[in-house]
A and B are shown apart, each in its own frame.
Chain A
Amino acid sequence: MKKTALLVAFMSAVAMSFAGCTDTSGPTVKVGVIAELTGDIPAVGASCRNAAELAAKEINDAGGLDLGGKKYKIKLFIEDNAGKADQSASAAQKLITQNDVVAIVGPNASRYAVPASEIAESSKVVLITPWSTTPKTTLDAKTGAPKKYIFRACFTDPFQGRVVARFAMENLKSKKAAVLYDVASEYNKGIAEIFKSAFEEKGGKVVAFETYTTNDKDFSAQLTKIKKAGPDVVFLPNYYSEVPLQVQQAHRLGINVPFIGSDSWGSEELLKLAGKDVEGYYFSTHYAADAATPAATRFIQAYKAKYNSTPDDVAALTYDAFGLLIQAVKSAGKPDRQAVRDALARISGYDGVTGSMQFKEGSGDPIKSAVILQIKNGKFGWFANANP
């Protein structure tokens, strides 16, 4: 009898908690955010969340969004994907079915963005990824045609890979490159392959093309192979928590050529984890905090005031993603999923914190410039611009 009573109590508690509480504080525009708050790249998730909350706060402090005469506040639903692809997918499902969001911003890393984008596309909900640069995110897995509901605030890797290859050849005068990349991760694999074909197209030779799997810590076998091949530059298109280990182990094995990276290097955590080992190296990314436009400067100051740190590219792109979304909601006139999607697809140009972006008809990918940063004196410093 006691057990049955316990069971009944448990079940009713469950039922009640799922009954759901209705929000009675005025009309809202519900936006979902999926960020990598825990897991292997928490700095990325933190930047994303900070920028999202800043963007929402700015709107809400000004009274809210004016839609058809009524003032709508932005309500954020922030989900953690714990650095796991399947949790990205289930977070997307939860935001769409339980929280009833009008659009989703995030995830950031391509390997998490791609599964979430599939869910959003099949549920016909807008998803804007701030940081995912791999083409697959906005392309249908089966047909290769562009997805209708997925957009991004950043450039794509076909552009970025060429930028890095061109930089390596022209600025670093490199002829033999080696690559070490994560084969288990969408982004790393994609841009490694693009770099390789772009580099070889220009007459260079990729002498070593080594792989590892996410969460590996020991790269000595692969780096020994790379050393044997004798490159004059090594490309590491990997995330900020892995690059320090790779560079340190390479140095210990006696590999002393320059290392270059891509936008996954962009977090300040990289500097904390790698220290002197990455001094002098270059990487491509979305924006430079020290060479900012007036709009960017305003954002940087607001972010610094609230969070006491310089925003990185993830934060800037998330802010721009929200900018795009807000513009679309305003133009749609109501927080309706289909209307917002159509309005977003109609945007042909947008000037954001990360520069000006052009959207082509039917494509969710903006055409933007990239910047090359160099790590000097333990800080990120602007080095050059790279235009499409």
Chain B
Amino acid sequence: MYLIQQLLNALQLGSIYALIALGYTMVYGILTMINFAHGDLFMVGAFFCFLAGVSLGLPFVPTMLLSMAGTAMLGVTIERLAYKPLRNAPRVSPIITALGVGLFLENFTLALSPYPKHITPLLDIRVWTVGGVSVSSLQILIIALSVVLMLLLDLYVRRTMVGMAMRAISWDRTTASLMGVPVDGIISVTFAIGAGLGGAAGVMYGLAYPVIDPYMGIMVGWKAFISAVVGGIGSIYGAMLGGFLLGGVEVLVAAYFPSTYRDFVAFSLLLVLLVWKPYGILGKPRPQKV
């Protein structure tokens, strides 16, 4: 019973990591660029949730949609302003720019909102106790919503024209553009989707842990990044797997050991995993032409 309770906790945390990891993996897949500002987009999503849900008092569904849309637009704007000029620059420049954008988002939000904000419950949370295990409707919502979004994304990438264009660009950007694929537009769409998913994760995180502050995205962002890489960066299923894996390890370690060991065990396990599978669990090594 205790284990099942902890597993539920793990699934909830893992879903959120997985959603954010998806954003990382999509951008990396198409541009081979690590968007380190992604964790902060997640944070902005949570703040949009506050603005829509608390300041404007909207119910859950409009809040979720508005937050996702807002974050998606922010993601596209950042891409156009900060990353696009650097597409042909040395690989590290956009990464440093991403770090800078992330820092900017964090501190700008801090300047506008110096106090941590509280998100009043947007949904009635019911708690059912089944044989000693407490299940809250929020937990179920988070897990279900995440899985649905991830499946939708996978369908989108595999079955639509836009998805096909994304995959084409990730294989060979120059040839894809020669073939008439509107590269800039598709890249924007990718960023929008990735950021939107991050925003959704932000809303759900805000509902589950209703005290939000501007620095909440940092650690969560880096952990989601690690999840994406461990799962195999560039692979959607890899991101999902990595997210649930990290969430599971974190919760289970805290469940059976003192919580201070949590980070240490989690990261050591991940390190070992990477050494064993240097391209991530589901990652494919990209052949390098000599």
Q: Do chains A and B touch in the complex (CB under 8 A)?
A: yes
Q: Considering the complex, give the chain B residue whose CB is closest to the CB of A273.
A: B118
Q: Mark A214-244, 1 if CB is under 8 A from B, else 0.
A: 0111101110110010000000000001101
Q: A254 contacts B120, CB within 8 Å?
A: no
The interface centre, meaning the residue of A37, A40, A218, A241 with most chain B CB atoms within 10 A of its CB, is A218
Docked-complex contact B209 and A218, CB < 8 angstroms: yes
As a 0/1 sequence over residues 7 to 46 of chain B, the CB contacts with chain A under 8 angstroms (1 = contact) are 0010011000000000000000000000000000000000
Contact between chains at B118 and A221 (CB < 8 Å): no
Stretch at the interface among A108-116, A245-253, A346-354: A245-253
Within 8 Å CB of B276, what residues of A?
A: none
- Looking at the assembled complex, report how far the CB atom of B261 sits from the nearest CB atom of chain A, in whole angstroms: 10
Known: A220-B9, A254-B134. A241 touches B260 (CB 8 A): no
- CB of A154 within 8 A of chain B? no
- Interface membership of A275, Cβ < 8 A: yes
On whether the beta carbons of B120 and A273 are closer than 8 Å, the reply is no
Which residues does chain B contribute within 8 Å of A218, judged by CB atoms? Answer: 9, 13, 209, 251
A4 to B83, CA, bound (A): 31
**B residues near A43, Cβ cutoff 8 Å:** 115
- A-B contacts counted at CB < 8 A amount to 86
Does A119 reach chain B (CB closer than 8 Å)?
A: no
Count chain B CB atoms within 10 A of each CB in A183, A273, A274, A275 and give the residue with the most.
Answer: A273
Q: State whether the Cβ of A269 lies closer than 8 Å to any Cβ in chain B.
A: yes
Chain A residues with CB below 8 A from B125, complex form: 252
The answer to whether B116 touches A222 (Cβ under 8 A) is no
Choose the segment among B164-172, B174-182, B210-218 that binds chain A (4+ C-beta atoms closer than 8 Å). B210-218
Contact B213 A40 (CB under 8 A): yes
Nearest CB in chain B to that of A221: its residue: B254
> Which chain B residues in 101-124 approach chain A with CB under 8 Å?
110, 114-116, 118, 120
A residues near B5, Cβ cutoff 8 Å: 224, 253
Partner of B110, one of A38, A245, A275: A38
Which residues of A from 261 to 290 have beta carbons under 8 Å from B?
269, 272-275
A100 within 8 A of B: no
Chain A residues positioned under 8 Å from B13 (CB to CB): 218, 220
Q: How far is the CB of B215 from chain A (nearest CB, A)?
A: 8
Residues of B within 8 A of A213 (CB): 259-260, 263
Q: Across the interface, do A254 and B127 meet the contact criterion of CB distance under 8 Å? A: yes
Residues of chain A with a CB closer than 8 A to B216's CB: 217
Decide if A93 is an interface residue (CB 8 Å cutoff).
no
**Which residues of chain A are near B136, meaning CB under 8 Å?**
252
Which residues of B, 186-226, contact A by the 8 Å Cβ criterion? 205, 209-211, 213, 215-216, 219
The answer to whether B209 and A222 have CB atoms under 8 Å apart is: no
Given contacts A224-B5, A252-B136, contact A245 B210 (CB under 8 A): yes
Name which residue of chain B comes closest to A228, CB basis. B2
> For the complex, what is the distance from the CA of A221 to the CA of B255, rounded to whole Å?
5
* Complex contacts, B251 vs chain A, CB 8 Å: 218, 220-221
A129–B127 alpha-carbon span in the complex (Å) = 44
Q: Complex formed: what's the CA distance from A212 to B262 in Å?
A: 10
Known contacts A218-B209, A241-B116, A244-B118; A254 and B6 CB within 8 A of each other = no
Q: Is A381 an interface residue (CB 8 A)?
A: no
Nearest-neighbor residue (CB-CB) of A269 within chain B: B115
The listed residue with most A CB atoms (<10 A of its CB), out of B110, B129, B254, B263, is B254
With A183-B260, A224-B5 as contacts: A275 and B209 at CB distance below 8 Å = no
Measured CB to CB, the closest approach of chain A to B94, in angstroms, equals 26
Does A193 count as interface, using CB distance less than 8 angstroms? no
Does residue B138 face the partner (Cβ distance < 8 Å to A)?
yes
Q: Give complex CA distance A220, B205 in Å.
A: 14
Shortest distance from the beta carbon of A375 to any chain B beta carbon, whole Å = 16
Does A60 sit at the interface, judged by CB under 8 A?
no
Contacts of A183 in B (CB 8 A): 258-260
Residues of B230-258 whose CB lies within 8 A of A? 251-252, 254-255, 258
Selected A-B contacts with CB under 8 Å, 27 pairs: A37-B114, A38-B110, A40-B213, A42-B114, A42-B115, A42-B116, A183-B259, A183-B260, A211-B260, A216-B259, A218-B209, A220-B251, A221-B9, A221-B251, A221-B254, A224-B2, A225-B255, A242-B211, A245-B210, A248-B210, A251-B127, A252-B134, A253-B134, A254-B129, A273-B116, A273-B210, A275-B120
Nearest first, the 8 A-B pairs at minimum CB distance are A221-B254, A220-B9, A254-B134, A217-B209, A273-B118, A221-B255, A252-B136, A253-B134
